[in-house]
Amino acid sequence: MALWFGIIGGMLGLGLIYLGWRLRQQQRGIIDFQLTYHKTMTPAQIQHSRRFFFQTEVKKSSIYRRLHMGVQVGRWGSYGLLALIVVQQIGLWQPDEQPVMATLCWLGLLVTLTGRNLCQWQLNRQLYASVQIAQTPEHVDLMMTPMHFTQSFLRLQLWSIGTLATLMLTLAVASGTETLPDDYLGGLLDGLGWQSTSSRVMPRASSSSSQESDIDDDDDAQDDAEQTTTRSSESQTKVKKVYTSAAYVRSLPVKSQRYLTRQDRVGLISMYYLVLNHYDYNGIANNPTVKYAYHVVKNIKPLTIVVTSTEAKRKFYYLTQIDKQNHVRVYRFKNQTPSALHGLVPAYQEYPKSKVKMGQLIKAYYSDQDGAYHRTMWAMEPSTDWTS
């Protein structure tokens, strides 16, 4: 499904670029028409004069002013919703119902942008109707616009409005179906070398051997054929991504590992939990004053595990479920008062788009060497099972 959304979004994006180019050509055609009759003026002067005339006409008419007000409200509303989407994606704002909020933002952007563009189209239609000419008279002033230019311009604008609305609807549906990654923008910025505010707490990748030992060594056959400097650079990039971007972890190929114990699995999920919260990937391992334990909740399917700690203010850390297909989901607790699962744990909800394959967690974090994963895994002590 993600592929189809990508194809549709790409086609709509290309369509918008083409329509924008056509609209620019139409405006250029109008200017060229005026230059035929006003040879002493420059294109910029003609464009400025026409813009000034239309602005004056808007001020004269109450109908035009209302349409112009609709354009401004839609524009600033779109800016506000776009800002909400950006701050949500880079981690500055993380509401409790993040997937729902993201979908509502995209739908709101669809409504405000479409409303703004329709008001602008209606305003243009009325303004151009007052200056269009069917046949060229002997005297042509700067406002006169041939009818075929006006009709073509308005038709292209309608196509642009429809294409943009379809693109916004596609993004809203992709967000609602969790096809659009929750941190796709943060991952993109990380890839360009910029760290979002929510991920700046993560330590920068080091070239020291102690940090490089935290990443997988499963690609030895390829790495041995490459130069040492290239291998070091790729290792650092991989360290940064698997410890800062949950979307990147979910994009990794699946890797299998024999004799994976339950403690190993909890250790892997705990590493992923740190990434979901933008915590330091050594956050659990570097806190010797706190002890952690995991409990299997019986009588519940799929396999449900609760991680707890000895922290006074935070006994319940997170809940995770692993189904028969080895798909993992991670849930956060809304508070620390047990009320769910017959009073075993507090109320909980899933992290946005947390679903990941166990094989992807193995690919991202599993290692036989000492490092962040090993220290986190050993910090997870098995404890008594709970019965719901």
Q: What is the pLDDT of residue 181?
A: 56
Q: What is the pLDDT of residue 65?
A: 93
Rounded Cα distance, 215 and 281, in Å: 12
Per-residue tens of pLDDT for the chain, all 388 residues: 667 778 888 899 999 999 999 999 998 998 998 888 888 889 999 889 988 988 999 999 999 999 999 999 999 999 999 898 888 776 666 665 666 777 888 899 999 999 999 999 999 999 998 888 887 777 788 888 888 888 999 999 999 999 999 999 988 888 777 666 555 555 445 444 444 444 433 333 333 333 333 434 444 444 444 444 444 444 455 556 888 888 888 888 888 777 788 888 988 998 888 888 888 877 676 677 788 889 888 888 889 998 888 887 888 889 999 988 889 999 988 888 888 887 888 888 888 888 888 888 888 888 877 788 888 888 888 888 888 7
Q: How far is CA 293 from the centre of its chain?
A: 33
Residue 48: CB atoms within 10 Å: 13
- Per residue in 132-171, pLDDT (tens digit) is 888 777 778 888 888 888 899 999 999 999 999 999 998 8
Q: Would you list the DSSP string of 236-263? A: HHHHHHHHH-HHHHHHSPP---TT--HH
Query: Which residues fall within 8 angstroms of residue 123, CB to CB, at 6 or more apart?
Result: 58, 64, 67, 68, 71
Query: Which residues fall within 8 angstroms of residue 228, CB to CB, at 6 or more apart?
Result: none
Q: What is the pLDDT of residue 286?
A: 63
What is the DSSP pairing of strand 292-298 with strand 386-387? Answer: parallel
Rounded Cα distance, 311 and 133, in Å: 78
Kindly state the helix (H) or strand (E) to which residue 79 belongs, with its residue range: helix 62-89
Q: What is the pLDDT of residue 218?
A: 45
Q: What is the pLDDT of residue 285?
A: 63
Rounded Cα distance, 245 and 265, in Å: 19
CA torsion, ordered 373, 375, 378, 380, to nearest 10 deg: -70
Place of tokens 């189809």: 4
3-state secondary structure of 209: helix
